[in-house]
Amino acid sequence: MSLRRFFYTSRARNLAALAAVAVVTVLLAFLALYHREDMVAPKYSANVFLPGLAEALNAGEVTHIHIASKSGAFDIAFVPAKGWVMVDRSNYPASFEMVKQTLVALAALETVEPKTDSPELYRYVGLDAPPKGAGVAVTLSSDKGKVLADLILGKEVPRGDDAIGLFVRKAGDKQSWLVKSPADFKTNAADWMDKTVVAVDRARIASITVEPASGPAYTVKRATPKDESFAVTPLPKGRELSYAGAGDSAATTLSDFAFDDIKPAMAVDFTGAAHMTVRSFDGLTVTLDIAALGAEHWVRVMASAEPGYPAAAKEALAINTHASAWAFKLPPYKASLYAPPLESLLKPKA
């Protein structure tokens, strides 16, 4: 055999050997990785976190919801002939949509993986029990007092899908879980109140007569719905508006009526209250009484309709049915829109 032939033959054998070694190495690495993943893979499968709750909902067994957090506690209950009500707010109507969303979401909670079972670590995931801890306790029960679900909600975590990641644990159980939920959970009482009190779009409003708690009364008005801005009348002699649309904000008070809390109207002293009378082009009149009690502003709402406007009469009846017995606490950022003094709409005196 020539030296050249021997060289090429030896080289081929070496390359083949190296290739074989490489294949074996890759195979061993793959098997090692597979074995490692198998060892660290979860030894559980996804499960419904609150088994039996869906069946209880379908059977109509859930009639009471108790929610407690650092900021306080409140109760929602189903009352025959009234529906869901805010027990702590003199049975003010609760939002049926909020009740439905919450109960359905709780029944749909699905485990993702177990988390800590060490109480000293709960604070990192928001699962310390209230009122001292940051967790939110939710208890569902029947009209006979049977507890159907009792859990603590913790921090939310981002997920890559439409679901919401949430740390939870069952009350009295040390084991915590990461679960996925189809919706978030509202823990502020204001979010549970039925907000369908009054809604009159700005496009409908013809005039607003304003009687502030102090200072002269005035009217904000326009002749037709096509008029963009509202005129303010009467203006003091020699004075002018701070800008052309200074009176327009009053027209938005009923298009986006919002409140943070409620009380029975008889529990609020409306002596010396300011007043607003809102009239629409289609026959509806809504009267607002605004009482300033310290830093809080409470509103009483009443409605009526002009003769010959049946749709407005129906709307007024709906407003009064829902609102007449109640006083509504305005959010601080809204209070200045209700019956502001005329002086606040004018340019400073020269």
What mean pLDDT, rounded, does the chain reach?
Answer: 89
SS3 67: strand
The one-letter amino acid at 238: G
Q: What is the pLDDT of residues 293-340, one digit of tens each?
A: 999 999 999 999 999 999 999 999 999 999 999 999 999 999 999 999
Q: What is the pLDDT of residues 19-63, one digit of tens each?
A: 444 444 444 444 443 444 444 445 668 899 999 999 999 999 999
- Quick one: pLDDT at residue 75? 98
Question: Which whole number is the average pLDDT over 242-266?
Answer: 92
Q: What does the block give as tokens for 311?
A: 């749709």
- Quick one: pLDDT at residue 144? 94
Within 10 angstroms of residue 190's Cβ, the number of other Cβ atoms is 15
Does the structure show a pLDDT above 80 at 350?
Answer: no
- Quick one: pLDDT at residue 17? 45
The domain locations on the chain are 1-41, 53-192, 202-345
Question: Which whole number is the average pLDDT over 272-288?
Answer: 97
Instruction: Taking the CA atoms of 223, 225, 227 and 230 in sequence, report the sign of the dihedral they define.
Output: positive
Question: Which whole number is the average pLDDT over 162-178?
Answer: 95
- Quick one: pLDDT at residue 159? 82
> What's the pTM?
0.79
C-alpha distances out from residue 243 to 240, 335, 336, Å: 8, 21, 17
Strands 176-181 and 110-114: antiparallel
- Quick one: pLDDT at residue 223? 95
Q: Using the structure block, give the residue that is written with the tokens 């009380």.
A: 263
- Quick one: pLDDT at residue 43? 60
- Quick one: pLDDT at residue 6? 37
Cis peptide upstream of residue 130 (ω within 30 degrees of 0): no
Q: What does the block give as tokens for 225?
A: 């719905």
- Quick one: pLDDT at residue 44? 67
Position 280 confidence tier, pLDDT thresholds 50, 70, 90: very high
C-alpha distances out from residue 334 to 128, 245, 330, 331, 342, Å: 35, 18, 6, 5, 17
Q: How many residues does the chain have?
A: 350
Question: Which whole number is the average pLDDT over 74-89?
Answer: 96
